[in-house]
Amino acid sequence: MLDVLCAELNNYFLKDKGKDIHFGEYTISNGSIGPLDFLQPGQFFRIVGSVFNDGVYEYPASGLKDEAFTGAVWAMAVPSPVIALADEIEKWAEANADVIDSPYSSESFGGYSYTKETASDGSSGAAWKSHFASEMNRWRKARVNR
């Protein structure tokens, strides 16, 4: 969920772009990448340019698909409130899975009614975006089209 949240926020929490993005040739072997001397145990990092493993992981990562690639590893400095928010979103989505996956946006019968929360784009699967919008806004970065 942290990967999806960072993408939604357009924020991968780099302290210094020039120092935190490491371009090169990387090998993932036995499900692990590294050693990467610029990461600390427990630090999150992003893989970019891989065929199989693009995404956000916690170092040292395991369970990756073996490959060699030319790309980048981003050393992230994710604040603990963002990690907690990602966990909260995941728990909320699990607790509301039945309603989120329902094809109905509202129903009423016998004096009972409800309306399912939906995202601003009308999709119910992304209802977490609208439900947690106020908490996420603090961490958002503007998108720049180039």
The 10s digit of each residue's pLDDT in 66-80 is: 999 999 999 999 999
Other beta carbons within 10 Å of 85:
20
Helices (H) and strands (E) in the chain, counts: 6, 7
87 vs 76: CA distance, rounded Å: 17
CA 9 to chain centre: 9
56 vs 74: CA distance, rounded Å: 9
Domain boundaries, given as residue ranges, for the chain? 2-75, 96-137
Q: What is the pLDDT of residue 81?
A: 97
Does pLDDT of 101 surpass 80?
A: no
Average pLDDT, the chain: 86
Task: Give the mean model confidence (pLDDT) for residues 121-126.
Answer: 51
132 vs 27: CA distance, rounded Å: 37
Two tokens, residue 105: 């946006």
DSSP character for 124? S
Task: Give the mean model confidence (pLDDT) for residues 101-112.
Answer: 59
pTM: 0.79
Condensed to tens digits (0 to 9), the pLDDT of residues 43-94 reads 999 999 999 999 999 999 999 999 999 999 999 999 999 999 999 999 998 8
User: For residue 99, what pLDDT band results from cuts at 50, 70 and 90?
Assistant: low
Sign of torsion over alpha carbons 83, 87, 92, 97: positive
Q: DSSP H helical segments within the chain, as ranges?
A: 2-9, 17-20, 80-95, 97-101, 127-131, 133-137
User: For residue 121, what pLDDT band results from cuts at 50, 70 and 90?
Assistant: very low
User: For residue 124, what pLDDT band results from cuts at 50, 70 and 90?
Assistant: very low
Does pLDDT of 126 surpass 70?
A: no
